[in-house]
Amino acid sequence: MLPLRPVCGGIWRAAVHTVRMSRGAPPYRLFSSTCDGAPAALADADTIFALSSGHGRCGVAVVRVSGPASATALRCMAGFTQRLPPPRTALLRSITDPRSTEVLDRGLVLWFPAPRSFSGEDSVEFHIHGGPAVVTAVLQALGSVPGLRPAEAGEFTRRAFQAGKLGLTEVEGLGDLIHAETEAQRRQALRQMSGELGRLYQDWSDRLKRCLAHVEAFIDFSEDELIEDGVLNRVDVSVSDLQAEIERHLKDERRGERLRSGVQVVIAGATNAGKSSLLNKLCQRPAAIVSPIAGTTRDVVETALDLGGFPVLLSDTAGLRDSSDLVEREGVRRARERVEQADLTLVVVDSHLRSVLPDTGTVPCVCLLMHRLCLLVLNKADLLPEKQRQKLDTELRGVSGLPAVRLISCQTNEGLKAFLTVLHSSVKTLCGDPLFGAPTLTQARHRAHLQRCAAALAQYQRYRDTDLALAAEGVRLAVTSLGRITGRVGAEEILDIIFKDFCIGK
């Protein structure tokens, strides 16, 4: 984390305070670059697929497949039974589901044999209609082709880089790109993990870790230690329960939880900065109660908006402050959680409070600290005397590295139009991000990992009585597969559970 320099008063303190408050909870690490996190990126024998075009309203969506089994996908989904199409030529085909042979869509397919493709491997592109139903169906169909799995963050780009397909100048920007992708995925995963599905996965993960710890303890210690034989029997029960639960979950065709889609825009800031007024202005109706009393908004108020064609989910949150009121404290907690999951944060600051500019070093902290997109909204411009307004203006110009700042008044509508333009372009940029809000992609990924997890648990059952090392390998694989959804599990964590549960000493 970046060091926070002391902040003087004024707007900047208010803004930085918002950031600090919103970072109350430790950051989650869902995608790490460790053994079971990133590596998929460097292992290239698998064939991967992903939606490569942006989200939002688009006529055509592009799904890319890369890897040795690309030709198989092309054969069984675009009906090329005899021979493959000529390379790099667009052909209009019916795209079918290989399991049911049902026609999913009619679209263009392109075949790029290695090495003349973006990734340097055999690749296929499906250009299909952009509706979410079609995209979901095609992605699910691809997932059923043997040897194919959903791509990890940045995997296509990384393969291209490994194959020497990207020049140095292109590579320069690659890190930032992948960072952006993982960041988008992290936000998305956070949204899901905080829901019911997340709790389910977390529970499975905890139980699996415990199973693994107990098997490992039995292997590493039991001979001359006091580990009761019952340990393994309990693991047996746990493993078969888990296996059954995961398989049942995979068979469940209902979507467990409706994912909230759209760009998540969160309004945050100190109490009485005018956050609810801004929400009401943006949705053009009194969706939230507005009053001069600090702490009026206590819960998250959500509104779905259409912003120049892009879906936006706008949330107003409780003003961030330390409060002894239980209800308000819960509201502040929810507000922080929302900011953590936001794609874009509107930090609202009361401009007429004070406008003493602190040492400039603190200001970039606002955006850097957040590691995410934010807009700084200086509200209550109408209360600002002309002289102070000019002073503020010059001060703002003197600071580099600020997020976009807009001076507005929810009272007089001053500056609102300019603000909307900035907001619109930010949302538009977000929607161009191929990973943004693509629940189908994430779900396909989850499914693949869960299937692998269940298969690995079957390995435990198979070897339980003959070779415990191979049985344990099954549980290890299961933990790793689930870890790709819930976060990495290291050897140390397993040892911690062992020492907590057993008195081991020799």
Partner 1 sequence: MLSIVFFSASVNQLLRCASHMLRKKLPFLHSLLSPVSRHVGHLTGHQYDVIVVGGGHAGTEAAAAAARVGAETLLITQKIHTIGALSCNPSLGGVGKGQLVKEVDALDGLCGRAGDWAGIHFSILNRRKGPAVWGPRAQLDRQRYRDFIQSELLSTPRLTMVEGSVEELLVTEPNPEEPGHHRVTGIRLANGSHAISARSVVLTTGTFLSGSLFVGQTTSPGGRIGDAPSSAGLSHTLRERLGLRTGRLRTGTPPRIVKDSVDLSLAKLHLPDSHPTPFSFLNTHTHCKPEEQLPCYLTFTTPGVERVVRESLQLNCHIQQDTKGPRYCPSIESRVLRFPGRSHQVWLEPEGVTSDLLYPQGLSMTMPPDIQLRLIREIPPMRRAEIHTPGYGVQYDFVCPTQLSPALQVKSTQGLFLAGQINGTTGYEEAAAQGLWAGANAARSALSMPTVTLSRTESYIGVLIDDLVSRGVTEPYRMFTSRAEFRTSLRPDNADLRLTPKGRCFEEVGCVSSVRYQESLRVRNSLQDALTALQALFLSTSSWKKKLPSVPISETKSTLLTGLDLLQYNDVTFEMLASAFPESLSSFMEFAQRLKIEAVYKPHCDLNKKEIERIQREENMSLPQDIDYFSLPVSLSDEVREILDRVRPSTLGAATRLEGITPAAVVNLLNYVRVTEKKKETHRNQRQQEAQRDEELCANSASLPQ
Angle at 467 between CA 462 and CA 473, to 5 degrees: 70
Beta pairing partners, 129: 60
* Cβ–Cβ under 8 Å, residues 5 and 363: no
C-alpha closest to that of 37 among 496, 364, 501, 486? 486
Q: How far is the CB of 504 from partner 1 (least distance, A)?
A: 5
The amino acid that residue 231 corresponds to is V
Q: How far is the CB of 67 from partner 1 (least distance, A)?
A: 13
Binding site for partner 1 (CB under 8 A): 1-2, 31-35, 37-39, 41-43, 45, 153-154, 158, 161, 168, 171-179, 182, 216, 218-221, 223-226, 463, 466-473, 491, 494-495, 499, 503-506
Query: Which CB sits closer to partner 1, 247 or 473?
Result: 473
Query: Which CB sits closer to partner 1, 219 or 416?
Result: 219
* Cβ–Cβ under 8 Å, residues 436 and 263: yes
Query: Which CB sits closer to partner 1, 35 or 327?
Result: 35
Alpha-carbon distance of 343 to 374, in angstroms, equals 9
* Cβ–Cβ under 8 Å, residues 18 and 365: no
Q: How far is the CB of 396 from partner 1 (least distance, A)?
A: 25
The stretches of 196-269 forming alpha helices (DSSP H) are 196-221, 230-251
Compute the CA torsion angle 379, 383, 388, 394 (nearest 10 deg). Answer: 30
Count the neighbouring beta carbons within 10 Å of the beta carbon of residue 382.
Answer: 14
Query: Which CB sits closer to partner 1, 76 or 456?
Result: 456
Q: How far is the CB of 189 from partner 1 (least distance, A)?
A: 14
Query: Which CB sits closer to partner 1, 224 or 253?
Result: 224
Q: How far is the CB of 440 from partner 1 (least distance, A)?
A: 22
Residues in contact with 335: Cβ distance below 8 Å, sequence separation at least 6, in sequence order: 21, 22, 268, 300, 317, 318, 319, 320
Query: Which CB sits closer to partner 1, 224 or 386?
Result: 224
Read off φ and ψ for residue 76, nearest 5 degrees: -85, -10
Q: How far is the CB of 39 from partner 1 (least distance, A)?
A: 6
Q: How far is the CB of 167 from partner 1 (least distance, A)?
A: 11
Alpha-carbon distance of 46 to 55, in angstroms, equals 26
Query: Which CB sits closer to partner 1, 141 or 153?
Result: 153
